[in-house]
Structure 1
Amino acid sequence: METNQKADGTQQEAGLKALTQRTGYSLKQENGQRRYGGPPPNWDGPPPERGSEIFVGKLPRDLFEDELVPLCEKFGQIYEVRMMMDFNGNNRGYAFVTFSNRQEAKNAMKQLNNHEIRPGRLLGVCPSVDNCRLFVGGIPKCKRREEILSEMSKVTEGVSDVIVYPSAADKNKNRGFAFVEYESHRAAAMARRKLLPGTTPILLLL
């Protein structure tokens, strides 16, 4: 069994190496996911518009970028693939694929949903929930918006705004919660991952 696992691992590494050499994209492991691209080589300009990312589910657990990328490339230029990984080196059954624009993502979603990627294995593809907002509870009611914004900016990256609602009883106090806006869905997801182990209850709104 160990020999087979080692052979599979070597085969996987060879496939990923061949992919990155062909495309020039980078491949990085970080925080339980592996990022392919983001941005791709020679990309000039801002990231793709919102709505350019799709969720690809029902992936065989031993499928990787060298199999998924060529399939997605048929529908447009890939900006980034984020494949969720477990501790054993397998994928978690889903990935996020960002195309260069919304129309390419729409076409890919239409063609790839229920696509038989392997015998008897049909993909489940839908729009990615591209939410950039976190709900933060347990905030001292005396904290003002500027203070919350400052504190959240110190502990997380990409904060763009904080929305606070005043208490009905006392307009000088907040209701004990706030919505924190981030520059991107990825920044919000990274902030949620960073804050969850702490004492502040955080919930990513979907």
Structure 2
Amino acid sequence: MNVAAKYRQASLYVGDLHADVTEDLLFKKFSSVGPVLSIRICRDLITRRSLGYAYVNFLQLADAQKALDTMNFDVVKGKSIRLMWSQRDAYLRKSGIGNVFIKNLDKSIDNKTLHEHFSAFGKILSSKVMSDDDQGSRGYAFVHFQNQVAADRAIEEMNGTLLKDCRLFVGRFKNRRDREAELRNRANEFTNVYVKNFGDDMDDESLKEVFSQYGKTLSVKVMTDTSGKSKGFGFVSFDSHEAAKKAVEKMNGKDINGQLLFVGRAQKKAERQAELKQMFGQLKQERFRKCHGVKLYIKNLDDTIDDTKLRKAFSSFGSISRVKVMQEEGRSKGFGLICFSFPEEAAKAMAEMNGRILGSKPLNIALARRS
């Protein structure tokens, strides 16, 4: 193993840092376990404020392992830090191998508690409870194990168990492509139908009479308010996809007592939100395709760079009509697009920003092809 490879293996990622943490403070902390080659806190290119994470490079791999074993979740400046091996293999991060998704977490579960509950199944490369802007838990998390065997054990033993009176869902991480394929398959196999825009006089029996002509119904329900009055919408569950599909085809848009019904596949809230998010993303991409200026393709973006920071970094070069950092699961995919109004502005931006460090990485900029 060459020296460079050895140093890479002795590198730790330090996350969830307080904004006031300095390199000197981290050096004092980590050098207590062994010689430290370098420490770099990643900072905003313009403001130089900490981005909340750093990299610590040890001279010896054993010292890095000791720090990981003994200092993970230590409190520094009032915040619990999160340590993991610096993962430079993009394929391992994005492949989903060993990656587990957990939801329905009690809001009191933090990174340390999550790690403690799942470390029994195998070596953890990273674990993270997702938080909102106020640093409160969003109720879901990701745990990345070193191998799929450990991940499968965690899923088998933890899925459906109670943790702080919350019944967990633990399953394999699915990337966006897999989730979209699942949604398409679900759309082709539905048996539950959503019906709305009918009158106040519609009850369960009346709704069943209307829809039972298309096939056997398992359940029919008109939603009502506290007084028992119809809210104007309901659900019909058929015993077969064919019957449900036929009901949608025949009844959607049909006039009943002067009102046009809406009849469609019943969807869970999360599924509707996923479809809307996908549609919104497609609209944004379409807007970029219609850019009347010059588009630049920005690669090798730091994970912390969002639309606002990317726009700010390039705004001095001219008029920017659109900026988009591509994302998946709320995380940057490492590239984005900027649309300048004039070719001269784009050329100047390319000349001065190509290779410049933004966040913690040197930018790679190219002229985007017109589509």
Looking at both structures, which has the greater relative contact order when contacts are Cα pairs under 8 Å and sequence separation is at least 6? Answer: 1
Determine if contact 1:57/1:123 at 8 Å carries over to the other structure.
yes
Name 1:64's counterpart in structure 2: 110
AA matched with 2:159: N
The whole-number CA distance in structure 2 between the counterparts of 1:142 and 1:21 is 48
Determine if contact 1:50/1:102 at 8 Å carries over to the other structure.
no
Deviation, 1:137, is 3.1
The whole-number CA distance in structure 2 between the counterparts of 1:44 and 1:138 is 33
Name 2:319's counterpart in structure 1: none
The Cα offsets for residues 47-80 of structure 1, whole Å up to 9 and x where unpaired, read as 4653211111111111112211111001001100
Q: CA RMSD in A?
A: 4.3
The whole-number CA distance in structure 2 between the counterparts of 1:112 and 1:100 is 18
The whole-number CA distance in structure 2 between the counterparts of 1:90 and 1:181 is 25
Q: Aligned to 1:51, what secondary structure does the other structure show?
A: coil
Name 2:287's counterpart in structure 1: 138
Deviation, 1:142, is 9.0
The whole-number CA distance in structure 1 between the counterparts of 2:333 and 2:84 is 18
Distance 1:98 1:151, change over 3 A: same
Q: Percent identity, please.
A: 19
AA matched with 2:166: R
1:190 aligns with 2:235: no
1:151 aligns with 2:151: no
Q: What are the equivalent positions in structure 2 for 1:18-97 lying under 5 Å apart? A: 22-25=69-72, 36-39=82-85, 47=92, 50-97=96-143
AA matched with 1:129: K
Name 1:127's counterpart in structure 2: 172
The whole-number CA distance in structure 1 between the counterparts of 2:143 and 2:133 is 21
Q: Aligned to 1:151, what secondary structure does the other structure show?
A: strand
Q: What are the equivalent positions in structure 2 for 1:165-176 lying under 5 Å apart? A: none
Determine if contact 2:68/2:83 at 8 Å carries over to the other structure.
no
TM-score by length of 1: 0.50
AA matched with 1:82: K
The whole-number CA distance in structure 2 between the counterparts of 1:142 and 1:114 is 48
AA matched with 2:331: A
- Structure 2 runs not aligned, ≥5 long: 1-66, 75-79, 179-280, 304-324, 338-371
AA matched with 2:113: E
The whole-number CA distance in structure 1 between the counterparts of 2:166 and 2:155 is 16
AA matched with 1:151: Y
The Cα offsets for residues 143-179 of structure 1, whole Å up to 9 and x where unpaired, read as 9xxx97x61427x458xxxxxxxxxxxxxxxxxxxxx
Q: Aligned to 1:139, what secondary structure does the other structure show?
A: helix
Distance 1:132 1:190, change over 3 A: farther
The Cα offsets for residues 74-121 of structure 1, whole Å up to 9 and x where unpaired, read as 100110012211244321101111000112111111111111112x32
Distance 1:157 1:68, change over 3 A: closer
Deviation, 1:141, is 6.2
Deviation, 1:35, is 8.2
- Structure 1 runs not aligned, ≥5 long: 1-19, 28-33, 159-179, 196-206
Determine if contact 1:35/1:82 at 8 Å carries over to the other structure.
no
